[in-house]
Amino acid sequence: MAIARGDLTAGETQLNAALDQLREFPAPLVAWRIYAALGRLRLQMGESQSAREAFAQAAKIVEQIAANVSDEKLQAIFLNSALVREVLEATHVLYH
């Protein structure tokens, strides 16, 4: 909500707090989305290096999730979802 209000600093604080909770109580399906949001936020803040790191973390988790989905159709649906594609493309663009 802070990001929607334009308070990027508070938004970053909230996202980092969420990631701290996820380190204690892992939830990959939530974590990759938070890393993706953090990557987008940091791009808005002009912090391309830390955005790259956040997107890389999101992509790593996405790949782990996809590797653990045995149903190829479900895996394809996940990997082709808009947000997953955004993460993977952002990772590729920011690294090249």
Question: Residue 11's pLDDT band (boundaries 50, 70, 90)?
Answer: confident
Alpha-carbon span 25 to 18, nearest angstrom:
10
- % of the chain exceeding 70 in pLDDT: 97
H or E element that contains 10: helix 8-24
CATH code at 8-95:
1.20.58
pTM of the model: 0.84
Domain definitions of the chain by residue range:
8-95
Inform me whether the pLDDT recorded for 96 exceeds 70.
Answer: no
Q: CA 64 to CA 52: how far, in whole Å?
A: 18
Amino acid 95: pLDDT: 59
